[in-house]
Amino acid sequence: MLAFAIRRLFEAALVMVTVALIAFTLFRFVGDPINQMVGQDTSIEDRLKLREELGLNEPIVVQFGRFLGNAARFDFGISYQVKQPVTSIIADRFPATLELALAAALFAVVLGIPMGVYTGIHRDSWLSKFFLTVSLIGISLPTFLIGILLIYVFAVKLGVLPSFGRGEVVRVGFWRTGLLTTSGLKAIIMPAVTLGLFQMTLVTRLVRAEMLEVLRTDYIKFARARGLPDRAINFGHALKNTLVPVITVIGLQLGAIIAFAIITETVFQWPGMGLMFIQAVQNADIPVMAAYLMLVAFLFILINFIVDLVYVRVDPRIRIFGRAG
Amino acid sequence: MKLKTLVVAGAMALGLAATPAAAKTFRYAFQGDLNALDPYTLNESFTLGALGNVMEGLTKRDKDLKIIPGLAERWEIVDPLKWRFYLRKGVQFHNGEAFTADDVVFSLDRMRSPGSQIKTRAPADMKAVKVDDHTVDFVLASPNPILHAEWDTWYIYSKPWSEANGATQAQSPTATSLNPFALKANGTGPFTIVSHEPGVKTVFKPNPSWWGKPEHNLTEVTFQTIKNDATRVAALLSGEIDMMDPVPVQDIDRIKSNPNVTVLIGPELRTIFLNMDSFRDELLYSSVKGKNPFKDARVRKAFYQAIDMEAIHTKVMRGMSVNSALLISPLLYARAGEFKRHPYDVAAAKKLLSEAGYASGFEVEMDCPNDRYVNDEGICQAVAQMLARVDIKVKLNAMPKAKYFDKAGPNKKYDSSFNLLGWTPGSFDSWNVIENIIGCRDADGKGGLFNYGGYCNPKMPELNKKILVESDIAKRDAMIAEAFRLNHEEAGVIPLHQQSLAWGVSKKVEMAQRADNQILFYWVKMK
């Protein structure tokens, strides 16, 4: 187990450095941050001085080395635009994104699994067909379109949900949550649905396919022959055995939800990291972009690691194999 | 007992009825963020506008942009090298400190601190001399008729407060930690800032001890960023906000058709124009080798006359622009009416091209921002198509602003042959345009930083120097006209139009729209 963790740690470090390297090669093409920082009347001397002070004139290798050195101490510099330390901006924005991602994942799982099970068992019922059609829409419409449609219906036409923002937030320790106020809960519904719809579809279809597969196996037939109730067969035996791939996918998708919340956050003006990242790209705010990419890479690694651990709990075969190895 | 109950109930009912009527919260949204609350660190009209509700300069500008007294009651030009400002008495900062001449002298030093982005608000060699607590002299090295033109956005800081809060210098862009004051503001203005979360929400409240007579009837103001165009429109339509800026051109009709909201449209000061590289001896991105066709004024004029501005006005801008013969808004230059655009005339353009030796046209690349000005990329596409009619083949490179300013600007030594740019003179004065846009520059940008084509008329530098120090308004305007005429005749830079402002406003709100696009809610009245 320890060897496993250490090997993972080493791999993680390698992945992070690679991501940083790729990011830095790309930063050369994002444009000039200076024009967005200074006033239009700033003289050419002052502009050049600022470039010099920010270290933008140094070779990319030197900039990269300095970035790695600072990043190892969790210092990601100061945002060119907001003029705050990047770590504190991210600490401010991260709760919003994580709450949104978890709400979206919850929505996907809570609706996706039952729909998958149902459509797996009752293959030909009209409700199954309805579920599958809905899920097809979820997978084929682009996120921003779904968001705008929801806003149009629920905010403009019906006026029941807010069209933007996060509502009132309350502070619990360092964490600012919107989940404890009515306006915050109302505000999270549409973004979470928008963000989670694709994942819900994925979960539904995955569970359905796995259910169909498992229901054909011999042990299910034996269980039926033994006269076990349908409930026990479907949920106790069949569903449990479909969960390994489902957990993998949900786990990896959680990383994707956090990383790709960008569009949803922009549409709903959700004050999370994705919105911060978009603004950073537009203004060539390199410290913010670098830190965000590193954080996302780290989250992917972390989630993968947790998924590996969960496997061991869910699937006894891996556990036994792991011990033997 | 019963009577008492009734009275209490009645009082409560009155109280309940009175509260919503008295509480007037104005909620507005803009596409960009309000970041640091230090107006010296970002010279940008939205930020300066938002903070202009909280802080004040020696002068102010009224709804028509006319300079009016602010923290200075009046001023006089003692001699061309000495301006005397008489400060308003009895003015308090939000924290209760009295406003005095020391604050003005201190604010001048702060404006010149290394991190400041507003250093050009006053000449570098100007000195501030305190005469008494409420009089300040500004001593100049050379005459300057527009000395106070930008002082409405040179907001005055309290000296004792700045010292107590470590705010004596503007936040440096390279500082490794955040100055605590960057998220606080202490001004003399009609509103105070209650809370500020950058990029999320800012709350303002009226300042009860403001020196002036309030023209608003608000009890609270909230500002939020809404970046996405469609969401901003939806938030206005659903009544979650009372005002937003900007309205996307394609959504104007939709908003107007809603009974609760409307669109305020007005001219903006920014002028959009085209630059052609007439600086290099060989054009970089072109089929023409060994020479530069844009050095020939006939070619530039042919480009000018081949562009159908009426079509751009109606098709690309959907009526949301005013075509311009000048590089400055007619609101800012008294003699603007004397100038007329060269007419759109394809035959004349072809003739000019063949006279210059390009009867069969040539190829050129055009650089264009796609997220900076209203429909910037659309304008460039239209220009490219129109030039095709005179056999000029334009290859369009549209790109985000960060990339565009990097490539076409001084950073890469103006690595562009043909491009589109917009400009609002910060001083609202023509000299700024002549200096920055059509001033002769070297390869690095010295002389005319935003002259992206490097156009140069040898008479311009001399003229420019004279305009800077001429105090006689009529003579000055005549010299400005001369400078603009030079550019007009040679088509050095091709002016296109001034874009229009479009604010989405609830019908509950009455507000003034100023052409510099500052949102000043001290003029907002709500029903």
Distance from B256 to chain A by nearest Cα, in Å?
A: 15
| Residue A313, helix vs strand vs coil | helix
Residues of A in contact with B118 (CB under 8 A): 39
**For residue B49, pLDDT beyond 60:** yes
CB contact (8 A) between residue A34 and residue B411: yes
Please confirm whether the linkage preceding B206 is cis (ω < 30° from 0).
no
Amino acid residing at B187: G
Distance from A40 to chain B by nearest Cα, in Å?
A: 7
Q: How far apart are CA B335 and CA B60, in angstroms?
A: 24
Structure-token pair, residue B28: 């507005």
CB contact (8 A) between residue A32 and residue B36: no
Q: How many CB atoms lie within 10 A of CB B48?
A: 23
Distance from A187 to chain B by nearest Cα, in Å?
A: 12
- The DSSP H or E segment spanning B510 is strand B509-510
A282 to chain B, any CB pair closer than 8 A? The answer is: yes
Q: How far apart are CA A170 and CA B514, in angstroms?
A: 37
Per DSSP, B189 falls in state S
Distance from A303 to chain B by nearest Cα, in Å?
A: 29
Mean pLDDT (chain B, rounded): 91
Q: Predicted ipTM?
A: 0.84
Residue A316 pLDDT class (50, 70, 90 cuts): low
Q: How far apart are CA A80 and CA A94, in angstroms?
A: 19
pLDDT on residue B174: 67
Residues of B in contact with A282 (CB under 8 A): 371, 400-402
Nearest CB neighbour to B231, from listed A38, A54, A268 = A268
- The DSSP H or E segment spanning B223 is strand B220-225
pLDDT on residue A1: 64
Per residue in B1-20, is it b (16+ CB within 10 Å) or e — as a string?
eeeeeeeeeeeeeeeeeeee
pLDDT on residue B1: 42
Nearest CB neighbour to A163, from listed B36, B238, B409 = B238
- The DSSP H or E segment spanning A278 is helix A273-282
**Whose CA is closest to B113, among B153, B188, B171?**
B171
- Collect contacts of A181-188 with beta carbons under 8 A, ≥24 apart: A186/A161, A186/A162, A187/A161, A187/A162, A188/A99, A188/A100, A188/A103
In degrees and rounded to multiples of 5, residue B69 shows phi and psi of: -65, 145
What residue of B is the nearest CA neighbor of A266?
B228
The predicted-structure confidence for B302-355, as pLDDT tens digits, reads as follows 999 999 999 999 999 999 999 999 999 999 999 999 999 999 999 999 999 999
Length of chain B (residues) = 527
Top pLDDT among A317 and A102 is at A102
CB contact (8 A) between residue B405 and residue A35: yes
What residue of A is the nearest CA neighbor of B198?
A82
Nearest CB neighbour to B120, from listed A41, A163, A276 = A41
Q: Which residue has the tokens 């469609």?
A: B230
CB contact (8 A) between residue A42 and residue B237: no
Residue A318 pLDDT class (50, 70, 90 cuts): low
A41 to chain B, any CB pair closer than 8 A? The answer is: yes
pLDDT on residue A58: 85
Q: What Å distances lie between residue B244 and B132, B247, B513, CA to CA?
A: 44, 7, 12
Q: What Å distances lie between residue B289 and A185, B76, B416, CA to CA?
A: 65, 58, 15
**For residue B19, pLDDT beyond 60:** no
**For residue A134, pLDDT beyond 60:** yes
Residues of A in contact with B177 (CB under 8 A): 78, 85
Residues of B in contact with A279 (CB under 8 A): 33, 199, 227
CB contact (8 A) between residue A148 and residue B226: no
The whole-number average pLDDT for the span B95-117 is 93
Structure-token pair, residue B442: 């070297």
**For residue B81, pLDDT beyond 60:** yes
The predicted-structure confidence for B233-246, as pLDDT tens digits, reads as follows 999 999 999 999 99
Chain-centroid distance of CA A106 in Å reads 12
Can you give B307-334 as a three-state secondary structure string? Answer: CCHHHHHHHHCCCCEEECCCCCCHHHCC
Q: Please name the residues between 141 and 180 in chain A that touch chain B, using a CB distance below 8 Å.
A: 148, 151-152, 155-156, 159, 162-166
The predicted-structure confidence for A11-55, as pLDDT tens digits, reads as follows 888 998 999 888 888 887 888 888 878 877 788 888 888 888 888
Contact criterion met (CB below 8 Å) for B425 and B268: no
Q: How far apart are CA A176 and CA A271, in angstroms?
A: 12
Nearest CB neighbour to A31, from listed B119, B199, B400 = B400
The predicted-structure confidence for B357-415, as pLDDT tens digits, reads as follows 999 999 999 999 998 899 999 999 999 999 999 999 999 999 988 889 989 998 889 99
Q: Which of A32, A48, A82 to mutate to test the interface with B (most CBs of B within 10 A)?
A: A32
In angstroms, the first-to-last Cα distance of chain A is 10
Q: Please name the residues between 74 and 103 in chain A that touch chain B, using a CB distance below 8 Å.
A: 77-78, 80-85, 88, 92
Mean pLDDT (chain A, rounded): 86
Residues of B in contact with A33 (CB under 8 A): 402
Q: How far apart are CA A152 and CA B128, in angstroms?
A: 56
**For residue B11, pLDDT beyond 50:** no
Q: Which residue has the tokens 């796609």?
A: B370
User: What sections of A122-228 are H helices per DSSP?
Assistant: 126-140, 143-150, 182-215, 218-225
**For residue A156, pLDDT beyond 60:** yes
User: What sections of B341-418 are H helices per DSSP?
Assistant: 346-355, 376-388, 401-408
pTM: 0.85
The predicted-structure confidence for A212-270, as pLDDT tens digits, reads as follows 888 888 888 888 888 888 888 888 788 888 887 888 788 888 888 888 799 999 999 99
Q: How far apart are CA B330 and CA B430, in angstroms?
A: 10
Contact criterion met (CB below 8 Å) for A41 and B43: yes
Contact criterion met (CB below 8 Å) for B264 and B512: no
Distance from B48 to chain A by nearest Cα, in Å?
A: 11
Residues of B in contact with A276 (CB under 8 A): 199
What residue of A is the nearest CA neighbor of B37?
A82
A214 to chain B, any CB pair closer than 8 A? The answer is: no
pLDDT on residue B12: 46
Q: Which of B174, B196, B201, B413 to mutate to test the interface with A (most CBs of A within 10 A)?
A: B174
Distance from A113 to chain B by nearest Cα, in Å?
A: 32
The whole-number average pLDDT for the span A265-277 is 93
- Percent share of chain B, pLDDT over 90: 79
Residue B97 pLDDT class (50, 70, 90 cuts): very high
Q: How far apart are CA B98 and CA B160, in angstroms?
A: 10
CB contact (8 A) between residue B235 and residue A42: no
CB contact (8 A) between residue B200 and residue A35: no
Lowest mean pLDDT of A315-324, B132-141, B162-171, name the range. A315-324
Nearest CB neighbour to A282, from listed B174, B402, B445 = B402
If phi > 0 it is left, if psi is from -120 to 50 it is alpha, else beta; for residue A227 that is left
Size of the A and B interface in Cβ pairs below 8 Å = 163
Q: How far apart are CA B115 and CA A42, in angstroms?
A: 11
